[in-house]
Amino acid sequence: MTYNFDQRIDRRHTRSYKWDQNEQLFGDPDVLSLWVADMDFLCPPAVQAVLEKRASLGIYGYAIRTDSYFQAITDWFKRRHDWIIDPKWITDSPSIVTTLSLAVELFSEPGSQVVLQSPVYYPFYDVIQSNGRKVAKNPLVIRNGRFEMDYEHLEELFKSGAKLLLLCSPHNPGGRVWEREELVRLGELCLQYGVTVVSDEIHCDLTLSGHKHIPFATLSPELADITLTCLAATKTFNLPGLHTSFAVASNPSIKRKLDHRIKTLSLHMAQHFAQDAVEAAYNEGEAWLDEMLAYIEGNLQYTLDYLTQHLPEIKPLQPEGTYLLWLDCRDLNLDVAGLKDLMFKQAKVAFSEGSVFGSEGEGWLRINLACPRSIVEEALERFAQAVRNR
C-alpha cells in the first residue's frame, strides 16, 4: 500500500469532536471512540498540500469559487458514477444537514408529514421536527440479512398526503447500497403521488466490492425533475471539519428556490479553504480512496470474523457500503441504558447507541470502522471482555 492506514494518530487535544468529548459524553477520557462518522486516517496528501499552501497566503479574505472547482466535481461524478452533471445544477451549501433542513422548509408545508426510512441518520428527525413538520416513518424491514424497503407501507403514507421523502442512499446506519430495481420502484411511487425526493448521497463513494451506487437522479429525466441530491467530498476524504457540501438539482424551480433561501440566509459565500480541498481531493485523491476502501474491507472482515468467534450472540448486518457496521445486540437483553453502561463504563468503548437512529434501532449498535486496525482489535477485545464479565 502507498498510504499507511495502520498509523495511529493521537487526535486528543486537537478540538476533535470525536475524541475530545470522551469525559463529557462517556464519563472517561480513555474511552476508545468508534462512534461519530469521521475517519482516524490522514487525508490524501494532495489535500494536505493545498491547505498548507492556502494557509501560507497569510490573508484570509473573502473567496470565490472557480470554474476548476465545478469541473473537479463534474469530472468525478462522470468518472465514478456515470453521472453527467451540468455545473449550472450545483449549489454550494455548508453541510448536507443544512441542505436537508432547507429542503424540508422549502418543499413541504408546516405541519405536514415528511417521510424517512427508519432506522436512519438521526439529523433526519431533527430537520423535520425543527421545521415544524411531522416525522412519517416508513420502517425498513430485514429480509435475507439486509434492510429492504416496505413499498406497501410507503404507498399508504403517500396516499395519506406526504409529499416529501428524505432518502438515505447508501443507507446509514444499515450500509445498504440500494439496487437499481429498488430505486426505480421507489421512484414510480414518488411520481405517481407527486412526491419530491431529497436524496442524501454523502456515502456514494464508499461502496464495497461487488456493489455500485446508483444516483437516484440518474434513473430517468422524470425522476431527476423531482429530486434534490445532497452530496459532499467530506465523507469520502475525511474533510467534515471544512463544512462544505453541494446540492444538485436539474429542475430549475427546485434550484432557484434553494439558491434564493441560501442567499437569504447569507450562506452563499465561498469558504476560504474548502473549495481548494475538494478540488484537490477529486482531482488527485482517487488512488487514496481506493486503498482506503480496501483497508476498510479488511477491517470489516476482521470484525465479522471476530464476532463470529467471540461474540456469536451479536449479529451484524453485512454492509454493502459506508465504513459503518450495524450490529444487532438484542440477544444481550439490555435496554438503552444497559447498552450504554456496557460500552462506556465496562468496556470503555464508544460505539453509536442504536436508538438515536429511531426506535427501530433500540438494541443495536453502530461501529465506525474507519480507523487503524489496532483500534478495531482493541475495541472489540474490550467489548467482548465486558460482555463475558456481565
Profile the chain (390 residues) by mean pLDDT over runs of 10 residues: 93 98 96 98 98 98 97 98 98 98 98 98 98 98 96 98 98 98 98 98 98 98 98 98 98 98 98 98 98 98 98 98 98 98 98 98 98 98 97
Question: Sign (positive/negative) of CA torsion 109, 111, 115, 117?
Answer: positive
| Contact criterion met (CB below 8 Å) for 168 and 200 | yes
Of 78, 73, 96, 238, the residue nearest 169 (C-alpha): 96
- DSSP calls for 118-151: SS--THHHHHHHHTT-EEEE---EEETTEEE--H
pLDDT value at residue 211: 98
pLDDT (tens digit per residue) in 286-335: 999 999 999 999 999 999 999 999 999 999 999 999 999 999 999 999 99
β-partners of residue 229 are: 199, 248
pLDDT value at residue 1: 62
Q: What is the residue type of 114? A: V
Residue recorded with cell 470565490: 64
Instruction: Tell me the three cell numbers of residue 337.
Output: 441504558
Residues in the chain, overall count: 390
Residue recorded with cell 469530472: 75
Question: Sign (positive/negative) of CA torsion 189, 214, 97, 317?
Answer: positive
Separation between Cα atoms, residue 370 and residue 372, nearest integer Å: 7
| Contact criterion met (CB below 8 Å) for 200 and 230 | yes
| Contact criterion met (CB below 8 Å) for 100 and 198 | yes
| Contact criterion met (CB below 8 Å) for 28 and 258 | no
Regarding the domain delimited by 22-44+286-388, which CATH topology (the fold level of the hierarchy) does it fall under?
Aspartate Aminotransferase, domain 1 (3.90.1150)
- Residue 227: which residues within 8 A CB-CB, separation 6 or more? 196, 197, 198, 199, 216, 217, 249, 250, 251
pLDDT value at residue 215: 99
pLDDT value at residue 228: 99
| Contact criterion met (CB below 8 Å) for 206 and 170 | yes
Q: Where are the domains of the chain?
A: 22-44+286-388, 59-284
pLDDT value at residue 100: 99
Residue recorded with cell 486496525: 373
* Yes or no: domain 59-284 corresponds to CATH 1.25.40.80: no
Separation between Cα atoms, residue 102 and residue 128, nearest integer Å: 10
The number of C-alpha atoms within 13 Å of 354 and in the hemisphere containing its C-beta is 24
* Residue 250, CA distances (Å) to 12, 87, 190, 303, 336 in order: 43, 10, 17, 41, 43
Instruction: Tell me the three cell numbers of residue 142.
Output: 430485514
pLDDT (tens digit per residue) in 221-276: 999 999 999 999 999 999 999 999 999 999 999 999 999 999 999 999 999 999 99
Separation between Cα atoms, residue 101 and residue 68, nearest integer Å: 28
The number of C-alpha atoms within 13 Å of 242 and in the hemisphere containing its C-beta is 27
